[in-house]
Structure 1
Amino acid sequence: MSDWLPASAVITGGASGIGLAIARELAARGTKIMLADLPGERLDEAARSIDGATAQPCDVSDLSQAEALSVAAFDALGTVELLLNNAGVGGPRGKLWEIDPDVARAHFDTNYWGVWNGCKAFAQRMVEQSAPSAIYNTASENSFFCAGPQMGTYIAAKHAVLGLTESIREDLPEHVHAGAIIPGWVFTDIGPEKFMHYGMAANEYASIVVPQLLARERFVVSHYSNVRRIRERVEPLLDSYERNAPREKDDGAYDVRDVIGAMRRSSD
């Protein structure tokens, strides 16, 4: 599909950082914006900074609030042609055995279940509308490798977001695209400012990724330095398979997709 411009977009985590920067970039192109975030002046101020934008308080970790956001969005916008499940928080730092399990579960409530809740609340309605649309979930460079030490909870949640996104792609019809946004280091308030300010400016980041959203890319990327880190994981993985995995006469004998495909063909 050639570049498409969504008439409407709902962006969670929209009061600041990547969400707000993407909202501004889209609004400048003519997309009508609904920003969702925790209630408060920051959300209201963000909405006031974009002509015609509306604000909807929402804690994405609560499915009932995500469902209320969906109802409000379709009522206000008519259609939702882009859903950006972007809300997230920084995770606890420390060695795994030092982390309080309740803190880790609370982190997953936002960074994983918040994305799941957004998909759950919006996907069926987006399927039922005829307009081409897209669901993008904000993953991370940490979906592919460990960008820093002692970030296990955050890294695990971001790996989960990538897996969820890849799976939901297969649940959706052709007119509803799904993709993952893979930010590298961007200056947001997800971590301490004294550290985060070394990252890319959010408005610069938005200018890089919005054209990819409009091109309906599967993976929306930015920081080329990520390629080196991805290779550091993938190359040893492939090497291990080459050296250690038994070779079958038919290498597809135990491939789940090949077997399912064969079963479907035989039942036709």
Structure 2
Amino acid sequence: MKDFNNKVVVITGGATGIGFSFAKRFGAGGAKIVIAGRRQDKLDTAVVTLEKLGVEAAGFTCDVSDYAQVEALADFAEEQFGGADVIMNNAGVLIPPSTVIDADRNQVLQIMNVNYMGVWNGASVFGKRFITRGTPAAIYNIGSENAFFNIVPGMFAYESAKHGLHSMTDALREEVPDFIDVSFICPGFVQSEMTEAAGDIPMDVEEYISIAWPQILAGEYYVVSHPYNVVWIKQRYDEMMKAYETYAPRYDGDWQYDPRAMVARAAQSAED
């Protein structure tokens, strides 16, 4: 989607940080904005700021881990502006660093409920409405550089959710009709409420938006930043390729074990 003029853009976690910066950028392009979050005071402040910039905006209190509340968010967008054209699933949380073995179960569930299920809730609720309407739309899932590798000690729960979100978004883009754009937006370490303890070490959020925005306008699937990440990506995939080359090298006819081809053959056999 290259033109957001008069489009209705819903952004979860949109009152602060990356979500709010995207809200301003969409609004500058003529979009009407619905921002969702759990804190009414932050929503109110964000809406006032957007309106001062000349953007039509509204806020809605929503816990994205609750499917019914996400449905209510979609209803709100219809009541305010006639329905959403874009959903940006941005809301996310962090938990204290921990190891896999010693992590608090409830905290791990919190991460999964918000950072994974919250995105699925948004994609499901809004995706169904986009398909029913049948007009150009977009689903933007906010992932992370941590969807590509695990390098931060104690962050396994966050990284696991983002890896799962990567897979979900891959599936989503194959499933939806051509009139729905899907992007997997993967910020690196960017200044936000979640990273404020790191001071000015993370990338400035407006610098990040300036990198990401042209990719969104170009309809890219992967929206990336932080170029050093290719070092860690290469390290992971080099290790994987070495394992295959050593213990499962390619050979003539290995296509018979292509998982997609095997599933297709199994489906055909079931029909026969």
TM-score by length of 2: 0.91
Q: Indicate the residue corresponding to 1:18 in structure 2.
A: 18
Deviation at 1:64, TM superposition (A): 0.7
SS at structure 2 position matched to 1:230: helix
Match of 1:91 among 92, 95, 100: 95
Deviation at 1:229, TM superposition (A): 1.0
Deviation at 1:196, TM superposition (A): 4.8
Deviation at 1:248, TM superposition (A): 4.4
CA–CA separation in structure 2 for the residues paired with 1:47 and 1:239: 52
1:185-264 alignment to 2 at 5 Å? 185-191=189-195, 193-261=196-264
CA–CA separation in structure 2 for the residues paired with 1:91 and 1:165: 23
SS at structure 2 position matched to 1:224: coil
CA–CA separation in structure 2 for the residues paired with 1:256 and 1:74: 41
Given that 1:15 and 1:43 are in contact with CA atoms closer than 8 Å, whether structure 2 keeps it comes out as yes
Q: Indicate the residue corresponding to 1:168 in structure 2.
A: 172
5+ residue gaps in structure 2?
Answer: none
Given that 1:4 and 1:215 are in contact with CA atoms closer than 8 Å, whether structure 2 keeps it comes out as no
Is 15-24 or 251-260 further displaced after alignment? 251-260
Which one-letter code corresponds to 2:4 in the other structure?
L
Given that 1:34 and 1:56 are in contact with CA atoms closer than 8 Å, whether structure 2 keeps it comes out as yes
Given that 1:60 and 1:87 are in contact with CA atoms closer than 8 Å, whether structure 2 keeps it comes out as yes
CA–CA separation in structure 2 for the residues paired with 1:110 and 1:212: 26
Match of 1:120 among 114, 121, 124: 124
Is 253-262 or 196-205 further displaced after alignment? 253-262
Q: Indicate the residue corresponding to 1:5 in structure 2.
A: 4
1:72-83 alignment to 2 at 5 Å? 72-83=76-87
Given that 2:191 and 2:200 are in contact with CA atoms closer than 8 Å, whether structure 1 keeps it comes out as yes
Which one-letter code corresponds to 2:47 in the other structure?
A
SS at structure 1 position matched to 2:254: coil
CA–CA separation in structure 2 for the residues paired with 1:109 and 1:265: 36
5+ residue gaps in structure 1?
Answer: none
Deviation at 1:47, TM superposition (A): 1.1
Match of 2:106 among 87, 102, 107: 102
Which one-letter code corresponds to 1:20 in the other structure?
F
CA–CA separation in structure 1 for the residues paired with 2:209 and 2:109: 30
Q: Tell me how many residue pairs correspond in the alignment.
A: 266
Which one-letter code corresponds to 1:126 in the other structure?
F
Q: Indicate the residue corresponding to 1:70 in structure 2.
A: 74
Deviation at 1:40, TM superposition (A): 1.6
Which one-letter code corresponds to 2:160 in the other structure?
A
- Seen in structure 2, the aligned counterparts of structure 1 residues 196 and 12 have a Cα distance that, compared at 3 Å, is farther
Deviation at 1:75, TM superposition (A): 2.6
- Seen in structure 2, the aligned counterparts of structure 1 residues 228 and 27 have a Cα distance that, compared at 3 Å, is same
Deviation at 1:250, TM superposition (A): 1.0
Given that 1:166 and 1:179 are in contact with CA atoms closer than 8 Å, whether structure 2 keeps it comes out as no
Identity level (%): 38
1:25-64 alignment to 2 at 5 Å? 25-50=25-50, 51-64=55-68
Match of 1:150 among 154, 162, 183: 154
